[in-house]
Structures are given as structure tokens and as C-alpha cells.
Structure 1
């Protein structure tokens, strides 16, 4: 097992710092939350802009509706809540008040995936990508590190379009991601297999690629920070150039990144073999985040094993 001493970062901190910096120069920016000032890391924003933080209490449907009203009134609302409650409780409002109405609301799903660990299945947010991918007109962005989080926040503040930002809680290292909405970032070149990863899985995919190289397997790593709209051209290019794809996500594969990529792959004239790493339509148990990621096969070692196994299983024509 590879160990590392590289610094790691909580993306919620990067989110909050960037939001405050933007708010200092743009009075339209407001924050709306559901009694989650602490968990959304909005304490600093509240102290500096007390009149621009709207805390609706534990009323997520109202929260999204208020955000939509503010957006239609010319404000730039960042609607912040724990991801399972923002997306699960207020799904109808996200659909009707935000996406259908084309309200430029920035929905901020905090601490998604398995980040709440011991709080259990009610707090795990593994279905959010699947739910939201089904809604037309809603951008979905999952930053991979602190720098990409800052870039995504800046982009969302000026995009004037409905978007969901999935802001990770547990700490990850910087990966050198360069955010471009709708475009997958190539973080490592490779010729034998492509790992398409998102969010917290990107740094693990890069480590997996390093380990695979020691076994003679060349792994390309794509950072799919935009889940919707998906970079279909990037996926097709990876299909042609590497001949196999592994997806890795801290979410259910039923309708998330893996399903989105598979939908592109299978509609091509020459589909390629795939492996989907994630949570396969089951409730995640209660336990520490590190344990849960290991339980569901989402470690760097698991990604390496899937990529190496898939690459070695291929019978590819010469040239």
C-alpha cells in the first residue's frame, strides 16, 4: 500500500473562502442555508455579511424556493445544505423552481457521498448525482480539489445558469485540476486503459495510475468534474485511444458517473469494455468514511486492480 505525506485540504474551506472573496466585490451574492451555518462552513460569511445570509431553519423546500425567488430578483444565491437533505427533501423545488424555471441558483451540496460516516444511511449522499442527472437544464459540477473548487465557485457566480456544486468534506490532496465547465481534464496520459474519475476519487485514480505503471500498465486519468453536461467527446477519444474505461465515483453507479459514461460507450459503433466502481444500488452502512470507501472498493488499490485487470483482459489488434 502506497503511503503519502502530501498536504490535504477540505474543499468546504476553499468554497467558503472563495465565496467571501466574491461577495466583497459583488453585493448581489447571498447565501441561503437550512440551519447549517457550521456544516456548510458559512461562519465567516455570516460574520462579514450578516444581512446577506438567510437561514430558513430546517425547511429545505422553502430554502430552494427562496433561492429561486432571489435569483429571479437579480441576486446570485448560493443555496447551501448537506447534500442528502438539499437533494432528497427539495427535489421537486430543484426541478420546478430552479431547473424548469431557469433560475440561476447555485445549489451547494455539502459533505456528499460517504463523508458523514458514522451518521449512517440517512446522511450518506450517494444518490444525488443519479437524481439530479435526470433533471434537464441543471449543470452538475464535482470539483476534485481545493483549487478546482475555487474555480468552480467563481464560474458558478457568473454563469447565470442553474447548477449543483458537490462540495466534498473529507480531505483530499491537490491534483492540479484546471476547471472548465463541460470539459474533462486529462491529468495523466496513458495508452492501455482510461480511468474516468470525479470528485474525491480523482486523487485516488492518479495514485492508482502510478501503481499500475509499476505493473507495466499505462493508465490515462480523466477528471470528469462536470457530470452534466457530460464531455462525450472526451469519452469517445478515450475509447479510441485506450480501448477500455474504468469509472470511479463516491456515489451510486445506478445513475451517476458510471451510468452516464456507459450510456455514451454503448451507443458507439464499437463499444469498449468497462468497469464501474462505486456503490451498486444499496444503502451504505454506518461506519467511518475510510472504512466505507474500503468496503465499497473505492481505494487507490481497488482502482489499480480494476484498471490492470481490464487492460490485461483485452485482445487488441496490432497497430
Structure 2
């Protein structure tokens, strides 16, 4: 049975900790609330207090001692989770922790997070991708920021996810009917849902899905995208000078890169942006 990204994260981290004593979980869930990690590894589970900033020094000490702390904010309907502000989140990352934010909405905090040196930014979709990213983060020597969804959604199986190997920088869900096809580039769960809805209405479109958005991997993804397509509509990323769409546009000179709709269930708006790029019949 498929799980939401948030539940898949909790389950996968708990399983990893059984074989890696360095993995520690700090969560907005209060101690004793039945978090699976706490039930399996109570000596390595910490509930985040309301004054969560006090835990930054704890995280820093854990990293210095050789542990790999994962800090998870509570599920949120909008923006960051209950562990606090973007400023607090960046302090955890700068201390060396991997931070997990349960929220599937558009990436309003991306321009700030991408400025952090040495942090991998990941926005997996669904159960399998989330598990693969968590495994990679647990084995990495750098912090990750992982944004996960809280709703169970149907996702296609990922045959390109190989145990022990990094998640591909570009997952091609469809290559389109010809080289001139407009390519949808989806980011995050909401963006992927919009892109799949648009392809359902216009199956000739190409669709490339991105999981990692830090500068190093986004540059690699842009190289692959540019070798295969010339016109792109990005779904799931907010507009802004340092946003995903604008960054891809800078990395793809000579290509057309435009943003999809800003919010909500707007498959028709995605198709309208495709028409702006004059998709051939």
C-alpha cells in the first residue's frame, strides 16, 4: 500500500536507523505521541519543544559527535511546518542537520534555501521517491532539505530508482511525440499533478520530472533537458528572480522557458501556457 511522502519518510528513517546507529530523529511530534521512530529507537528520538530554537545547539552537538540528525517539522497546510520560521529552518541546515518539511505546495522558500552552501534541495513525489531521497540523505556527508507531501496520491512506479544509487536528476515520464514538442517540467507533488493532468488532455506533450533543485543538480538537469528539448513550461514553482523557472532559463540560453500557473488546480492554465509556445498540432 502506498503512503504519503510524510509517512514514507517516517517509516523509511525508522528502518534505516535499525542498521545505522548514527541516525537520530528530532520531530515536532511530542514525545509519547506514537511516532514510529520513537517506538523503535526511543534513545535516538527527540520531540521538538515550542522553543525549538533551543534545539539548534543540540543538533550542532549531535553532528559534531558523528550523528546524522533528521529534523522534521510538523505537517502544515501552507508554508513551513510547525517547527518554526524559515530562519530557524536554515539554522538547522547550517548546523548540519537534514530538515524535512511536510508540505506539498509551491516552492515559495526556494530562493532562500538555494543560497545555502553545501545543502541538497529535494522535492520527491510519493512513497518510492521519498524513500530513495531519505536513503541518500542518510548516507551523505552534507545536509538535505526535503519537502514531502502529506496526502496519499497515486504515483507511477519508478523503474529508474535503483537501490543504493542516486535518484536521477531528470525522470522522463514522457518524451513527447517529436523533438519539437513542448516539455512540461514538474517540480514537487502539486507541480507533478498539474503536469500529469495537462498530459492527460494533451498526450503529445513531453514531461520531465525533477526531484533535486540545488544548483549542482539543477545545472546537470538543465544540460539533459537542453539536449532533448527547446521549449519548456515549468509547473509547481513560484515566480521570482531566483526561482526554479528563472534559474532554468539562465541555464538554458537559446531555449524558451516559461512558468506555469501560480496556484491551485489549473490544468487549463498549464495548457494555455503551452499554447503560448505554439505547440504544433
TM-score (norm 1): 0.73
* Distance in 1 of aligned mates of 2:224 and 2:17: 39
User: Residue 17 in 1 paired to residue 11 in 2?
Assistant: yes
User: Residue 88 in 1 paired to residue 86 in 2?
Assistant: yes
State the partner residue of 2:182.
193
* Distance in 1 of aligned mates of 2:34 and 2:68: 16
The verdict on how the C-alpha distance between 1:36 and 1:227 changes in structure 2, with shifts beyond 3 A counting, is farther
Q: Which one of 169, 183, 202 corresponds to residue 183 of structure 1?
A: 169
* Distance in 2 of aligned mates of 1:234 and 1:260: 11
Q: Which one of 29, 40, 47 corresponds to residue 48 of structure 1?
A: 40
The verdict on how the C-alpha distance between 1:42 and 1:138 changes in structure 2, with shifts beyond 3 A counting, is farther
TM-score (norm 2): 0.82
* Distance in 2 of aligned mates of 1:113 and 1:304: 20
The verdict on how the C-alpha distance between 1:52 and 1:208 changes in structure 2, with shifts beyond 3 A counting, is same
Q: Deviations over 1:249-279 (max 9, x none)?
A: 1x522233223212212xx2xx222221254
State the partner residue of 2:146.
165
State the partner residue of 1:244.
231
Shift of 1:182: 6.7
- Asked if the contact 1:35/1:57 (under 8 Å) is kept, the reply is no
Q: Where do 1:287-306 residues align within 5 Å?
A: 293-294=264-265, 297=266, 300-306=267-273
The verdict on how the C-alpha distance between 1:94 and 1:51 changes in structure 2, with shifts beyond 3 A counting, is closer
User: Residue 204 in 1 paired to residue 198 in 2?
Assistant: no
* Distance in 2 of aligned mates of 1:132 and 1:256: 11
Give unpaired runs (5+ residues) of structure 2. 75-79
Deviates more, 1:224-233 or 1:62-71: 62-71
Shift of 1:90: 0.7
Q: CA RMSD in A?
A: 2.8
- Asked if the contact 2:9/2:131 (under 8 Å) is kept, the reply is yes
- Number of positions where the alignment pairs a residue of Structure 1 with one of Structure 2: 264
User: Residue 79 in 1 paired to residue 68 in 2?
Assistant: no
Shift of 1:142: 0.6
